[in-house]
Amino acid sequence: MDSIMSKNEKELLEIRKEIQEFEKSQSSIKEKGYSFKEQINAGFRHLDEICGTLDKQDKESSRLSARLSSLPKSAETAELTSQLQSLRSNIKQSKKTFTPETGGSLTNLLWPFSESFAHFLPQMTYISGVQGLVQILTNRYQQGQLYKLTAMGKATIMDVTGENMISDPGWTPNAFFLLPFLAFVQAFEVYNGVTFLVYAFNHEGIVEWQVIACGVGNFYTTCSTYYAKLSNRKEKEKEK
C-alpha cells in the first residue's frame, strides 16, 4: 500500500513539475508574441513614413523636372535632366518595393494582440483566401456579361468600369457555376458570426470589440443580402 502511495506521489510531483515548466514556456511564448506584435506595429509606422517621404520626393522631382524643361537646353541642363530621370526611376522602384499592394488586413491592424486574436487569426486567414477566390470568379463573370451586352449593343463604353472590360475576356464562369462558391462564402460568414458571438459570451472579462463587431457584422451582411434577394424575387413575381 505504501509503495502504491509513493508511486502516486512521485507521479503527482512529476506532473506538477511538468505543469510548472509548461506555464513558464507559455508565459515566455506570450512575451515573445507581444514583442513581435510591437515590432510589427513599429514596422507599419516606419512604412507609413517611408511611403509619405517617397510621395513627397515624387512630387518634388516632378516640380524640378518642370523647372528644368523651362530653361534653355544646354549641356548642364541635359546632365541635370539625366540625373533627375535616374532619381525618379529610383523613386518609382522604391515605391513598388516598399508600398504594400493591399495595405495589410484591416482586421489584423485594428485587432490588438490577445487571446482572441491568436484564436481567430487562422479563421480570418481562411475567409480572406476564400473571398479572394470568389472575387476573382465574380470579376470574370461580370466581364463576360459586360462583353455580351456591349457586343449586342445593349451597353456602351460608359457602362463598363474600364477600357479592358470591353475586350474578349476569354473563359468566364456562368451563374450556376458561381452559385456554389457564393453560397459557401455566405455559409462561412454565418459560421464566423456564430463563432465570434459564442466566443464573446463564453469568455469572462473584457473581450475586444472586434470580436462582437465581426460577429454582428457578418450576421447583418448575410441576412441583409438574402432579404434583398427574396424581396426582389417577390416583386418580380407580383409584376408577372
pLDDT tens string 145-156: 777 777 777 766
Q: Are residues 172 and 210 in the same domain?
A: yes
Q: Residue 228: pLDDT above 60?
A: yes
Residue 134 contacts residue 142 (beta carbons within 8 Å): no
Mean pLDDT, rounded, for 175-180: 75
Domain count, the chain: 2
What's residue 102's pLDDT?
A: 44
CA distances from 15 to 2, 23, 167, 222 (A): 20, 12, 69, 48
Residue 160 contacts residue 166 (beta carbons within 8 Å): yes
Q: What is the pTM of this model?
A: 0.45
Q: Are residues 51 and 149 in the same domain?
A: no
CB atoms within 10 A of CB 72: 5
Parent domain of 166: 106-239
Q: Are residues 10 and 113 in the same domain?
A: no
Q: Are residues 123 and 206 in the same domain?
A: yes
What's residue 210's pLDDT?
A: 67
Last residue of a domain, one of 82, 98, 114: 98
Lowest mean pLDDT among 8-17, 39-48, 88-97: 39-48
Q: Are residues 92 and 128 in the same domain?
A: no
What's residue 175's pLDDT?
A: 66
Q: Are residues 71 and 160 in the same domain?
A: no
Q: Are residues 58 and 153 in the same domain?
A: no
**111 closest CA partner among 119, 102, 100, 103:** 119
Model confidence over 61-75: pLDDT tens digits?
888 888 878 888 888
Last residue of a domain, one of 59, 81, 98: 98
Q: Are residues 189 and 89 in the same domain?
A: no
What's residue 162's pLDDT?
A: 45
Q: Are residues 55 and 92 in the same domain?
A: yes
What's residue 52's pLDDT?
A: 74
Mean pLDDT, rounded, for 104-122: 67
Q: Are residues 45 and 115 in the same domain?
A: no
Q: Are residues 94 and 27 in the same domain?
A: yes
Cell of 192: 464566423
Using pLDDT thresholds of 50, 70 and 90, give the confidence band for residue 164. Answer: very low
Q: Are residues 81 and 127 in the same domain?
A: no
Model confidence over 17-41: pLDDT tens digits?
888 887 888 888 878 877 877 777 6
Using pLDDT thresholds of 50, 70 and 90, give the confidence band for residue 104. Answer: very low
